[in-house]
């Protein structure tokens, strides 16, 4: 019985983490769903709609990461960050509102937790823009300073 409780708690925490990870990429997800639903509405098949929706979301995510990482001006980076952070904040607010309502949190606590969830999701969205194919963790050009040579003793 105790094992099942621990396993259920771990699964619940994993689902909450997954919910907030999805909230952090809310803009590409919504764009992909919109493209897929538009194609379904226009008579395309399910496979084509799902594939095009996935491609649209992926292209938007990669374009946003590229613009954020290599954007020349600070205004460009700010606009891209806001374009990803605002939908993520809205999704994080509603995700945390649902979780706090399931946990039976009262009015003030539910509002505070929801606002905290919105902030966390927005920050996670901005942080996820800095990683990717052109971000600081990619295999970019070699460092400008050569490594120091160690002479044998």
pLDDT in tens, 63-77: 988 888 887 788 888
Residues 109/100, Cβ–Cβ less than 8 Å: yes
Residues of the chain with pLDDT under 50: 133-139, 142
Q: How many residues does the chain have?
A: 153
In this prediction the pTM is 0.72
- Rounded Cα distance between 58 and 31, Å, is 9
In tens, the pLDDT along 73-97 reads 888 888 989 999 999 999 989 988 8
Cα 47 to Cα 40, 44, 52, distances in angstroms: 10, 8, 8
Task: Show the tokens assigned to 123.
Answer: 């920050």
Q: How many CA atoms lie less than 13 Å away from 144 in the CB half-sphere?
A: 0
130 closest CA partner among 76, 59, 77, 75: 77
The angle that helices 26-41 and 74-102 make with each other, rounded to 10 degrees, is 80
């Amino acid at each position: 019985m105790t094992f099942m409780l621990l396993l259920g708690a771990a699964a619940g925490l994993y689902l909450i983490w997954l919910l907030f990870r999805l909230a952090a990429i809310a803009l590409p997800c919504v764009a992909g769903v919109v493209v897929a639903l538009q194609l379904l509405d226009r008579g395309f098949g399910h496979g084509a709609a799902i594939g095009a929706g996935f491609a649209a979301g992926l292209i938007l995510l990669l374009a946003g990461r590229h613009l954020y990482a290599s954007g020349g001006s600070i205004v460009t980076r700010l606009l891209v960050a806001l374009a990803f952070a605002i939908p993520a904040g809205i999704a994080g607010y509603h995700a945390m509102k649902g979780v706090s309502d399931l946990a039976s949190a009262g009015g003030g606590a539910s509002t505070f937790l929801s606002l905290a969830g919105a902030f966390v999701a927005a920050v996670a969205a901005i942080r996820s823009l800095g990683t990717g194919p052109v971000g600081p963790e990619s295999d970019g050009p070699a460092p400008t300073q050569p490594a120091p040579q160690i002479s044998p003793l």
